[in-house]
Each structure stands twice: as structure tokens, then as C-alpha cells.
Structure 1
Amino acid sequence: MANYYCENCGAKNSSVAGLTSGNCKNHPNGTFKGKHQLYEGTEKSQYTCKLCGTKNSSIAGLTSGNCKNHPNGTFKGKHQPAK
């Protein structure tokens, strides 16, 4: 069975519909101000931030931290997983 993940917070669901129906704590518009967005990459043993290269074993772990190279400013946004 496949798992689907939110690219902003790492939430996991067994269906795309189930995932994208929920509000996301790390949504770019603000906390819970938008739906989960589907991570379109594959499941990996290590996820890398596409902005700064930080690595973590889960999307949730990666996106919990602020990124030094975020477009909104240094540490003014979360890490973003590369596909």
C-alpha cells in the first residue's frame, strides 16, 4: 500500500483525497490556512531541503525546521523537500 505525504508538513495518508482534505500546520498561507499539498517525489530513506541541502530521515522532521536560505528571508520559512 502506498503512502502519500504533504510536502509542507510531512503528514501521511493512504490516499491522496484523504491527505488533501485536511488543513496543514505548515501551509505557506499560514498555520491551518490551507490544505495539505501532495509531495510528488518518491519515498526515500533521506530527504533533502531543496533550498539549503539540510537532510532528514522524514519529511515531517525536515519541514519542522526553519531554513537559512528560505525565499522569505533567513529562517523565515520551513525547509522544502526536494522531489
Structure 2
Amino acid sequence: MPNFYCEYCGTKSSSISSLTASSCSRHPLGGNRGKHKLYEGSEKSKYNCKYCGTSSSSLSSLTGSSCSRHPEGSNKGKHAPAL
């Protein structure tokens, strides 16, 4: 059975509908101001940030820290996973 993950916070769910129905604590508009967004990439042993290349073993740890090369400015946004 496949797992589905949120692109913003790495939350794991067994279905797309249950994932996207819940509020996301790391939503770009602010904590719990939007729903989880489906990460459309595959499960990997390492996830890389599409802005700076930082890698992590989980989506939640990657998206939990600030990115020095974020488009909104240095450390003004979180790392975003590359597909």
C-alpha cells in the first residue's frame, strides 16, 4: 500500500483524501492556515531541497528548517523538496 506525504511538512497518510483534508502546521500562509499539499515525488532514501541542494533522510526534517536560498529571501522560507 503506498504512502502519501505533504510537501510542506512531510506528514504521512495512507490516502490522498485524508492527507489533503487536514490543516498543515507548516503551510506557507502560516501554521494551520491551509491544508496539506500532496508531494508528487516518489519515496526516497534522501530528499533534496530544490533551492539549495540540502539533503535529509525524511521530508519532515528537510521542510522543518529554513533555506538560505529561498526565493523570498535568505531564511525567509523553508526548504522545499525536489521531485
The residue number in structure 2 matching 1:73 is: 73
Shift of 1:72: 1.3
CA distance in 1, matches of 2:37, 2:31: 13
**Moved runs in structure 1, 4+ residues, more than 4 A?**
none
The residue number in structure 1 matching 2:60 is: 60
The residue number in structure 2 matching 1:13 is: 13
- Number of corresponding residues: 83
Relative to the length of structure 1, the TM-score reads 0.98
Runs of 5+ consecutive residues of structure 2 not aligned to the other structure: none
- Give the aligned CA root-mean-square deviation in angstroms: 0.5
CA distance in 2, matches of 1:22, 1:63: 18
Runs of 5+ consecutive residues of structure 1 not aligned to the other structure: none
Q: Which amino acid aligns with 1:45?
A: S
**Equivalence map 1:27-42=2 (5 Å):** 27-42=27-42
